Every structure is written in structure tokens, then in C-alpha cells.
Amino acid sequence: MGDNPVTGGRQKPAVVNGLLLLNKPAGMTSNQALQKVKRLLKAKKAGHTGSLDPAATGMLPLCFGEATKVCAYLLEADKTYRVTARLGEATDTADADGEIIETAPVPELDRDAWAAILKGFEGASEQIPPMYSALKKDGKRLYELARKGQTVERDARPIRIDEIDLLEASGSRLVFRVHCSKGTYVRTLVEDIAKVAGTVAHTAKLHRETVGDFRSEDMVDMAGAIEAAESDPESLRERLLPADVALAGWPACRVVTDDVERFSGGQQVACDSDGAGLIKVYGPDERFLGVGELTGGNNVAPKRIFMLAG
């Protein structure tokens, strides 16, 4: 009798390669979500990229097997969020899980005024990370210090907001969509928007819609993942995306059959592209071989080698 796909057991971990775009539910850390899906897939190796706060929902790319090698590249990806802010109340954590520490009247602004305030945040700027964050200061997580009532000085970090659009402004409720660079703290953005408007606020709901070039319609929710694993574990594995999908916007090159083994063995080989920078490398059969770096003269050196079945 086989092991239950949900509860796990002592069955040997399967060889599972690929990415699953999980629509993370609220009330679960990113790592808890990863470990749960890892058990459902019976995967041996797993990782995630772009952590979401426990209260946040939305796209969490989970990487399994060889696909864990793209995690570092996904950390650089831009992201899109749908944000619901509660105006007039500030909390110690800047989200709905915290205690209210300040209140202020909500200004009577019309839709055009709110839209103008939001647009003022587009472009490059610097942002001071919140105390309730996983960043480290002298070896300690900031949220660990915050829970002890400590506040320490944080250096401002460069961020970029490409687009921010108002969706709703009604009373104390403000809803907007923001497309931003990595490292942008939406909770801090909400507080800064409120400050410009002459009030205070916290993030009531946060939903991540996209990461890089991944599409929201390709997400799987946790209930769907559990249902698939219970009915047929293989059906959940069929939902995995190939590792190179994470690098969809990258340039690509190809190497000839005789050089596939050499490239996969760590040697520089000739390819059909020239220039400089990182590039996706494929064999003549369109099998993804890994990430290479163009070194000029139509040569490519391996940077990350993927051992995927041909």
C-alpha cells in the first residue's frame, strides 16, 4: 500500500523538477506553504523566492529540484500588488495584524486628488524599511528587535515604482495596484502615501498578482493543490512549469550537439550568439542546458548548469 500523498510517510522522495505558482493563502508563512506543497509533491529539494508576509496572499513561486537554481534570478524580478489601505489608523506592524498606535482624521479628497497623490510616488526613490521586516541589523532580524520594543536606525534603500493606479477611494478605504521593483515594502509605501495626504494608515490587505513575467492565471491555490494530490499525485506534478519559464525575458542561444556534454561539464563552448551578459543556453533539441555568460567571439561559459532529462 502506498503512502498518502497528503500526510506523507517514508516513501522515497521523487525526482521533481519545475516551478509551481502558488496563490498563497493568508495566515501561513511562505516557508510553511513551501513545506506543505513539498510534501504533496513528495519532492526532495525545494525553495521559494520573494517571501510574502503571513497575512498577505498571492503569487509565491515555489521551485523544486533543478528549478531551485533559478530562485536567485527571480529575487531580482519586479512585482505587482493589489493593495487595500485602511486610512486613519496606524499600527505598530503597519498591517492589520498589529496594534493601533495612532489615529488621525481622514481628509475629504476626491478620486482625482487621491490619484494625483499616488502618481507622485512613481519613479525612482529611496525607502526606509519597516522595523517589522526580516532584514538584519548587527545579526538580528529587525522584527525580533521590534517585538522587544526596540527601534534601530535603518538605512534608506533605492526602490522604483513603475506604475501605481487608483482602484477605489471610499471613506477610510483606499485600494490601488502598484508595479514595483524588488525590495519595495508596500506597508511603508502605504504609510508614506497617507503622510502626503495628511493622515495615517496601515495595509489592511495585500495580494501579489505577478512576479516577473509569470501570469496570475497560472497560479494554483492551496486547496486545489491538496485536491490534486489526493486524487492523483501525478496530476499536481503536471501543473509544474519548466525551470526556464522563470527566465522568459532573457535572450537565448544554442549550442551544437557535440558541445552539449562539454557545456554541461563546465566548459566554455561556441554558440550562435555574440555579445556580453547572461543568457539562456539550449541544445539543438531545445533542451534547456542552463544559464551561461557570453564571453565574446560567439562563446558562452556555463554559470548555472541544469541536469534535466533530455
Mark whether 72 and 122 lie in a shared domain.
Answer: no
- For residue 310, the model assigns a pLDDT of 52
Mark whether 58 and 148 lie in a shared domain.
Answer: no
Which residue among the candidates 53, 92, 95, 244 is catalytic per the annotation?
53
Q: Write out pLDDT tens, residues 184-220.
A: 999 999 999 999 999 999 999 999 999 998 988 999 9
Q: ∠ CA 204-210-213 to the nearest 5 degrees?
A: 165
Q: Write out pLDDT tens, residues 277-307.
A: 999 999 998 999 999 999 988 999 999 999 8
Mark whether 24 and 104 lie in a shared domain.
Answer: no
Mark whether 60 and 173 lie in a shared domain.
Answer: no
Helix 111-119 / helix 186-197 crossing angle, nearest 10 deg:
130
- For residue 142, the model assigns a pLDDT of 76
In a domain, 101, yes or no: yes
| Residue 53 falls in the annotated catalytic set | yes
Which of 200, 226, 243 is the last residue in one of the domains? 243
Contact between 36 and 42 under an 8 Å Cβ cutoff? The reply is: no
Q: Give the residue carrying C-alpha cell 560567439.
A: 298
- In the chain, at which residue ranges do the beta strands (DSSP E only) sit? 18-24, 46-48, 57-64, 79-87, 89-91, 100-103, 123-127, 136-137, 140-141, 157-170, 173-180, 201-211, 220-221, 252-254, 269-270, 276-282, 288-296, 299-305
* Residue 219 lies in domain: 18-76+215-243
Mark whether 189 and 267 lie in a shared domain.
Answer: no
Q: Give the residue carrying C-alpha cell 521590534.
A: 146
Report the distance separating Cα 7 and Cα 17, nearest Å. Answer: 21
Mark whether 164 and 232 lie in a shared domain.
Answer: no
For residue 23, give the CATH number of its domain.
3.30.2350.10
**Torsion sign, CA atoms 60, 123, 185, 113:** negative
- For residue 193, the model assigns a pLDDT of 98
Mark whether 53 and 84 lie in a shared domain.
Answer: no
Which of 200, 224, 243 is the last residue in one of the domains? 243
Mark whether 150 and 126 lie in a shared domain.
Answer: yes
CA distances for 158 relative to 125, 183, 201, angstroms: 6, 8, 23
Report how many domains make up the chain: 3
For residue 271, give the CATH number of its domain.
2.30.130.10
Q: Give the residue carrying C-alpha cell 477611494.
A: 169
In a domain, 261, yes or no: yes
Residue type at 43 in one-letter notation? A
Contact between 154 and 135 under an 8 Å Cβ cutoff? The reply is: yes
- For residue 11, the model assigns a pLDDT of 60
In a domain, 42, yes or no: yes
Model confidence, pTM: 0.88
Report the distance separating Cα 299 and Cα 310, nearest Å. Answer: 23
Which of 193, 211, 229 is the last residue in one of the domains? 211
- pLDDT tens for each residue of the chain, 310 residues long: 344 444 444 566 668 899 999 999 999 999 999 999 999 999 999 999 888 888 899 999 999 999 999 988 888 899 999 999 999 999 999 999 899 999 999 999 999 999 999 999 999 999 988 877 777 777 777 778 777 777 878 888 999 999 999 999 999 999 999 999 999 999 999 999 999 999 999 999 999 999 998 988 999 999 999 999 988 878 899 999 999 999 988 999 999 999 999 999 999 999 999 889 999 999 998 999 999 999 988 999 999 999 876 5
Residue 47 β-bridge partners: 63
